[in-house]
Amino acid sequence: MSPIDERSMHLKLCFAAIQKLQFKFGYGQNSIIAKLKFLGFEVNTASLSNLLSNGKRNVGDKALSRLANGLERLVAEELDMSFDPVLQDFIPAQTSGWVAYIVPDSTRLSTHDFAIHPEGRVLLEQKARFIGSAIQEVVEIGVRLHSFANYFYSQNDAVFRNRVEELLRRGVHYRAYMIDPESDAAKLYFSDRARVLPSEQAAFEALPGIVAQLSALSQEFKTKQLKGKFEIYLYQHLPVCMIYAVDPQLIHGKMMVSSYLYGIRRANCPVLEFTRANQAALFRKYRETMTLFTEKARLLV
């Protein structure tokens, strides 16, 4: 494609994208600019204004290319449509497994792009708010999931149980992973930690009871026949960190992670909180280890 043809195609794509977004959502220029920035396509307001002036003012080729790529991505995320160069318009993409996602604009962006909780595990209310934005799945990887089980059995239902059930009703899947009590990894991990934290021996002995609690909980949700799945898995690796992920496969994914420090109670290990949009490299590394760590886990019920 010649530079002239490419520029012409970019212009047509941009106008078609803006038309679709404004017709469907009524977005103004500032909102579109903020959404493009969130997706990693930062453009200045002048470039978009010049574009919308119907050619009265020129838009540089690089800025136009960035606008076109960003708008194409934005329409794909929010409308599941792709640009047809023959029709010179957007048409339904019908992407398998597509889930509608409204890209945040500047009014919805987090006030921080990276947070450290040095005191350790966050409060239950913070955790409940953290999962509230999920639209596809929540993944939790721990060691015993003892606190997780207690959220359902020892707390007021309104604090956590009802919020999880609401996610399941919306079709969000909740998958939690704990160590297999029968595995060699569990015996080695707890016996080693018990050298400096004697309470870890009792923690190991309590594992079968936690498994029974979570099994019953899973069965309870299953009988309600909700749209989302609530699943508990057992893994056989040596635990290295806690991972709490919301929509890890989507652009707005976010995580809380905590490395397990030897001699420090797991609840007191510092927690990092970050998003995929603002910490892409960090997010990618934890998502990769999360995938490898869980791929051979056994579904409990």
The model's pLDDT over 103-113, given as tens digits with 9 standing for 90+, comes to 777 434 444 56
pLDDT higher at 244 or 56: 244
Instruction: List C-alpha distances in Å: 281 to 154, 173, 276, 286.
Output: 38, 25, 8, 9
pLDDT of 99 reads 61
Strands 298-299 and 230-235: antiparallel
Q: Which of 9-23, 109-123, 151-165, 182-196 has the lowest mean pLDDT?
A: 109-123
The model's pLDDT over 244-281, given as tens digits with 9 standing for 90+, comes to 999 998 888 999 999 999 999 999 999 999 998 888 88
* DSSP-H helix ranges across 124-179: 124-131, 146-153, 161-169
- Average pLDDT estimate for 216-245: 96
pLDDT of 44 reads 85
Instruction: List C-alpha distances in Å: 36 to 23, 68, 86, 91.
Output: 18, 10, 25, 20
The model's pLDDT over 229-241, given as tens digits with 9 standing for 90+, comes to 999 999 999 999 9
CA distance 48 to 239: 49
pLDDT of 97 reads 61
Strands 137-141 and 241-246: antiparallel
The model's pLDDT over 289-298, given as tens digits with 9 standing for 90+, comes to 999 999 999 9
CA distance 102 to 94: 17
- Tracing tokens 């409060």 back to the chain, one arrives at 123
The model's pLDDT over 3-16, given as tens digits with 9 standing for 90+, comes to 668 999 999 999 99
Residue 25 has pLDDT above 90, yes or no: no
Structural contact between residues 157 and 185, judged by C-beta atoms closer than 8 angstroms: no
What's the angle, vertex CA 298, arms to CA 296 and CA 300, rounded to 5?
160
H helix or E strand, kind and range, residue 17: helix 3-25
Residue 59 has pLDDT above 70, yes or no: yes
pLDDT of 1 reads 59
- Which token pair is 290? 């999360």
Which of helix, strand or coil describes residue 62? helix
